[in-house]
Structure 1
Amino acid sequence: MNIIKKSIFVIKNYGVKVFIKKAIRFPISRLNLLKQKIAERKARKNKEEVIKSLKSFSSNNPEEIFDFSWNFYSGLIRPCKIKEEFVELLKIFKELNPKYILEIGTANGGSLFCFCKLARDDATIISIDLPKGPFGGGYPEWKIPIYQAFVKQNQKIDLLRKDSHQQDTLEEVKKILNDNQLDFLFVDADHSYEGVKKDFEMYSPLVRKGGIIAFHDIAKHPPETGCEVEKFWNEIKNTFEFRELIRNVNQVGCGIGVIYF
C-alpha cells in the first residue's frame, strides 16, 4: 500500500483528526527508523565489539540498566517502553529475585536485556518472538548472538523464534522449565484482544503461586493501532491483586499492568 492509499485509508476509517496526527508524526517516525537501520548496519559490521561491550556491562540498578539499554549503540536494543513505567516494573522484578522468567515478545531485546541483568545469577530466561510478527516482532537471525550476550555467566537463555499461540511452542517452554514453574511472565507480543488473551490462558498456568505476570500496553490506544490489551486487562485485573504503572492517567499508549499471582 503506497502513501496515498494509506492516507485515504486512514481518513476513510479513522477521520481527518487521526490523519493529521499521523501526518505530523510521520517524518519523526521515518527519521527514527532510519537511525535504527544505521545503528543495525553498524552493529552487524562490528558484532564482536557489540558483544564484548554488552558482556562487560554490569549493574544491579534498574535505572542504570534501563539507561544503558536505551542509549547503547544508538538504540540498537532500546526498550519500546516509557522509562518511569518500566523502571518501576524492574524494581518489582528485582525484589522478586526470579529464577525462571518467560518473556513473550522479544522485539529489540531491550526488556530482555534488563531482565537478564536483574535476574538471579543462575536464572533461566526464555524469550519468544514471532518472525515478521504484526506488532513489531521478528528480529533478524544475526542478532541472536547479541541477545545471547545479555546473560550473566551462569544464566541460561533460550530464544524461541516461534508463534507463542502454537501448542508446540508451549510444549518447548515446558521442556525447558523441566517441571519448574515460572516466577515471572511478561506479555508483550500480540496486542489484539484474542492474542493477549490466548497468551495469558496458555502460559499463566506455568506461573507459580506468588509469582508475577506483567502486561505491556494496558493504557488506552487509538483504534487504528489494533491494540486491545486494555480491554483484556480491564476484564481480568480485579480477579487478582494488581498494580497499574502508568506515568500519566491521560496518556495514550504504553502503561504496564502487574498482577500478583
Structure 2
Amino acid sequence: MTQDFSRKEFEFLESFAVLLRAKTIIEIGVQKGDSALYLCRAAQKNKGKYLGFDIWDTHGLKKQFNTCGSAESVADFLIKKGFRCFKLIQIDTNRNREVFEQVLDESCKDGIDFAFVDACHSYYGIFNDFFSLYPRLSTTGVVIFHDTLNTDGCREFMLDLRTKYHDGTFDLIDLPYGYGDVRCGISILSKRSFSNLQLGITEICGSISTPQKIEFRELKWNRHEKKKGILIPTIKKKDMKSINIGVYPNRKKFK
C-alpha cells in the first residue's frame, strides 16, 4: 500500500491566510521554500508581504540536521514563480534573538497577522521563536505551529501554552494532520479577537440572552480570563533532554 506524503497543510495555510486577510505573513523555517510558495501566494492575493527566516545551515540541538536549501535558491524559486512580495533573512532566530526581534519591529510596524513556525523543533527553539512573535502579533494575529504531534519539543510546548504560559489572551487547537499519513500535527493559536475588535452581533436568530448581554458577558469573561504576572522563564539549550535524539517510528501510541 502506497503511503501518502502529500502536503495538504500548505494549501490550508494559504487558504487560512487569505481568509484572515493577512497583510504581514511571517515564516520561521523556510528550508527549500515549499511552504513559502503558498504563503507568498496568499500575501500576493492580500496585497501584503511575506518575510521568511531560516538559518540555512546545519541545525538542531546537536547539529543533527543537514543544510536544506539556501536563501538564494529560495529567492530564485519564488521569483521564477512570479512573486516579488517577499523578503528572505538568513539568521539563527534563537542565538541572535535580539537581532531577529529588531528586524520584526522594523518590518512589521502594524503587527504580524499570520506566522508559521516550523524551525528548530526543540523546546528551546519553539519557545524562543514564539515569545519573539507573540508580543508583535496584530489584534487578530494567528500563529500556526508545525510538527506538534510527532515531535517532543513542539508537543510539550503546546501543553505548556495551555497551562504554564496561558495568560487568557489566546485560544489554541490541535489538528492531528499534516504530511499525509505521517500526521505530523498542526496547532493553531489565535488571539481572542471577537471582544478585541468589539464587533457587534448583527443577525438575530434567537438565543438565551439579548445581543447586548451576550457582548457584555463576552467582555466580562475575557477580562476575567486574563492573567497578569505569568512567569516566562529563560530556556537554554542545556535544559534540553537531548541524550536520545532521533526518530522512533514504533512509538505510535502512548507509552
Call closer, same or farther: CA 1:206–1:150 in 2, change over 3 Å: farther
What residue in structure 2 maps to residue 126 of structure 1? 51
Instruction: Provide the rounded CA distance (Å) in 2 between the counterparts of 1:100 and 1:209.
Output: 13
Contact 2:24/2:49 (<8 A) preserved: yes
Call closer, same or farther: CA 1:231–1:244 in 2, change over 3 Å: same
Which among 16, 33, 54 is matched to residue 109 of structure 1? 33
Contact 1:124/1:157 (<8 A) preserved: yes
Q: 1:195 deviation in Å?
A: 0.9
- The answer to whether structure 1 residue 160 and structure 2 residue 84 are counterparts is no
Identical counterparts, % of pairs? 23
Highest RCO, 1 vs 2 (Cα 8 Å, sep ≥ 6): 2
Instruction: Provide the rounded CA distance (Å) in 1 between the counterparts of 2:33 and 2:133.
Output: 20
Contact 1:117/1:150 (<8 A) preserved: no
Call closer, same or farther: CA 1:257–1:150 in 2, change over 3 Å: farther
Q: 1:91 deviation in Å?
A: 2.7
Contact 2:33/2:74 (<8 A) preserved: no
The two structures have a TM-score, normalised by structure 1, of 0.58
State the Cα deviation string for residues 129-154 of structure 1 (Å, max 9, x = none): 0021425555235404324417766x
Within a 5 Å distance, the mapping from 1:59-78 to structure 2 comes to none
What residue in structure 2 maps to residue 92 of structure 1? 16
Q: Which amino acid aligns with 1:160?
A: I
Q: Which amino acid aligns with 1:171?
A: Q
The two structures have a TM-score, normalised by structure 2, of 0.60
Instruction: Provide the rounded CA distance (Å) in 2 between the counterparts of 1:205 and 1:122.
Output: 24
Bigger mean CA deviation after superposition, 165-174 or 141-150: 141-150
Call closer, same or farther: CA 1:145–1:198 in 2, change over 3 Å: closer
Within a 5 Å distance, the mapping from 1:31-42 to structure 2 comes to none
- Indicate the RMSD between aligned Cα atoms, in angstroms: 2.6
How many residue pairs get aligned? The number is 172
Instruction: Provide the rounded CA distance (Å) in 2 between the counterparts of 1:193 and 1:158.
Output: 27
> Larger % of helix: which?
1
Alignment gaps of 5+ in structure 1:
1-80, 222-226
- The answer to whether structure 1 residue 231 and structure 2 residue 156 are counterparts is yes
Q: 1:169 deviation in Å?
A: 2.1
SS of structure 1 residue aligned to 2:102: helix
- The answer to whether structure 1 residue 260 and structure 2 residue 190 are counterparts is yes
Larger CA Rg, structure 1 vs 2: 2
Call closer, same or farther: CA 1:176–1:150 in 2, change over 3 Å: farther
Instruction: Provide the rounded CA distance (Å) in 1 between the counterparts of 2:23 and 2:16.
Output: 14
What residue in structure 2 maps to residue 174 of structure 1? 105
SS of structure 1 residue aligned to 2:106: helix
Instruction: Provide the rounded CA distance (Å) in 1 between the counterparts of 2:6 and 2:159.
Output: 21
Q: Which amino acid aligns with 2:87?
A: D
Instruction: Provide the rounded CA distance (Å) in 1 between the counterparts of 2:58 and 2:10.
Output: 23
